[in-house]
Chain A
Amino acid sequence: RGRDLWRTGRARAAMEAAELRVGFVGAGRMAGGLARGLLRAGKVPASSILASAPSDKNLDAWRESGCRTTHCNLEVLQDCTLVFLATKPHVLPGVLQEIRPAVGPHHIVVSLAAGITLQTLQRLLPAGTNVLRLMPNLPCVVQAGAMVFARGSSAGDGEATLLKNLLSSCGLCEEVPESYIDIHTGLSGSGVAYVYLFAEALADGAVKMGMPGGLARRIAAQTLLGAAKMMVETGEHPAKLREDVCTPGGTTIHALHQLEKGALRATVMNAVEAATNRARDVAED
């Protein structure tokens, strides 16, 4: 295929995922999560995935899944069209300098690095490179992720559609203005941890009342899963769904009163705010 074809958005969007060679520069937890999600969804065969990392430590798991691995970042750029940059943020500028010679107009470069802005990415890559910035969250691994991405100035509809179609196999994937990415971190990137904390507390409550811990944790997880599923499937406002559970004078409203007394809502808002602010602070460094 000629370079002209790559430029047209339609060709991009129509490109079968199966033809796509997907690369990961950096093979840590987040990269692994995305790759696993793509594999489980059957969107990309393992043989089409190439991951690079400085040591073998992270690469073993990839090889076990059937993916190809290398210690050479440049090889990923030479072999793949869609390249995820998944190194630790402080390492990325150096990596960008390294791979820059191999980056061409046919590449779609997607950075997962927290705090590294599109402006910085575009500055360190050749002019006109298709750059996008992605913020996923951990449950991409089980195809229930929440991801947002923002386009760089050269990325067109074709690139955005390609990425969205591919990543929708890992969960919810929405395009947003870049300014929402830090908020997404506070809400959903870190948010997953808030949910784990809540689940643990639920289970502890049950243990206090006499239920074995293992059972309590399994039920807590299912409760969260079920509640979230209802929110997603009914599209109803959570306040309405909460109401539906509260019979007058019943157990639920008594319990909710305890949560309100503890100012749970404000505390959660504080958490989202703190994480978002931290993400913004880190970005400025």
Chain B
Amino acid sequence: AGVLAAHKITASSPDTDLPTVSGLRKMGVNFTVSNKDTVKSSDVLFLAVKPPIIPFILDEVGPDIEPRHIVVSCAAGVTISSLEKKLSTFCPTPKVIRCMTNTPVIVREGATVYATGTHADVEDGKLLEQLMASVGFCTEVEEDLIDAVTGLSGSGPAYAFTALDALADGGVKMGLPRRLAVRLGAQALLGAAKMLLESEQHPGQLKDNVCSPGGATIHALHFLESGGFRSLLINAVEASCIRTRELQHLADQEQISPAAIKKTLLDKVKLESPSLSVSSASRVSLFANKSPSSKKN
């Protein structure tokens, strides 16, 4: 987006073999294996690790956090109060901002919300907003809405990918080549979303505008309604939001087995491995948590 020069960005990861690492390097981002170095050379610090790792990262870099630092956590389900609690052992008034974004930041069409912590100023929030607005939509919200945002726009791209896959299947069934079907389906959703964002009309009205009487579209919509399309989407957003709250609750209770975390730190980057098993089912789920960020640690 041209908001920052690459050399002003530092990223750190213990594992240098990740494809994302070489990608970042190619962009001209400063790369280091030392989290401490990242902290020292930054003013705005994005914590982009998996949620269960957050406490350990904070322990590691805590001593290097200075009053100038704005600590931004993108970790799903990790509350401002838990971040502040951890950091306050090192720094009396840590500036914390919690944010929830989504993967389309990659193409600068992200959806980001943020909530400011106790010691973050209005300007700190605005700075983050400026940064994130360069990669899509960004607005401030009350922290208690962030789980709902996760359910809607955090997970939302996955719902869209599923829909697009199915739409393409429909196209293929009716005779279109796959690539063309995917391209057209994606463009249809893109165009519809753009129309809605640029229009003052209600989506219901926009839908009406496409449905000529007795035509193809209304016949198709009837099928969607019969299948409970709308309620499925409502269910999905609800499920994602509720699950986020569950995970947060589990994290708050610090139900992470130390053995599991030690293994994680030792393995460093085997976090997404489905073979990683932990003693109880509820803890396994922590490791399967979806993190919207592409940067890893």
Contacts and interface: CB of A to CB of B under 8 A. Distances in A.
Interface of A: 237-240, 243, 257, 260-261, 263, 265-266, 269-270, 273
Interface of B: 202-205, 208, 222, 225-228, 230-231, 234-235, 238
Given A240-B204, A260-B230, A266-B227, 9 more contacts: A237-B202, A239-B202, A263-B226, A263-B227, A263-B228, A263-B231, A266-B225, A266-B228, A273-B222
Nearest to B204: A239
Contacts of B205: 237, 239-240
25 contacts: A237-B202, A237-B205, A237-B208, A238-B204, A239-B202, A239-B203, A239-B205, A240-B204, A243-B202, A257-B231, A257-B234, A260-B228, A260-B230, A260-B231, A261-B228, A261-B231, A263-B225, A263-B226, A263-B228, A265-B225, A266-B225, A266-B227, A266-B228, A269-B222, A269-B225
A239, A257, A269: residue with the most chain B Cβ atoms closer than 10 Å: A239
Contacts of A273: 222
A257 B204 CA distance: 16
A240 B225 contact: no
Contacts of B203: 239
A280 to B, nearest CB: 12
Contacts of A266: 222, 225-228
B35 to A, nearest CB: 38
Nearest to B234: A257
Contacts of B222: 266, 269, 273
B203, B208, B231, B235: residue with the most chain A Cβ atoms closer than 10 Å: B231
Contacts of B204: 237-240
A254 B266 CA distance: 46
Contact of B234 (A238, A260, A265): A260
A261 B222 CA distance: 15
Nearest to B224: A266
B156 to A, nearest CB: 17
Contacts of A237: 202, 204-205, 208
Contacts of B230: 260, 265
A239 B230 CA distance: 13
B228 A240 contact: no
Contacts of A261: 228, 231, 235
List the 10 closest pairs (A to B, CB-CB), nearest first: A239-B204, A266-B225, A260-B231, A266-B226, A261-B231, A265-B225, A260-B230, A240-B202, A263-B228, A237-B205
Contacts of B227: 263, 266
Contacts of A257: 231, 234, 238
A238 B222 CA distance: 18
Contacts of A260: 228, 230-231, 234
A207 to B, nearest CB: 25
Contacts of B238: 257
B207 to A, nearest CB: 8
B16 to A, nearest CB: 45
A89 to B, nearest CB: 25
B12 to A, nearest CB: 39
A9 to B, nearest CB: 30
A194 to B, nearest CB: 16
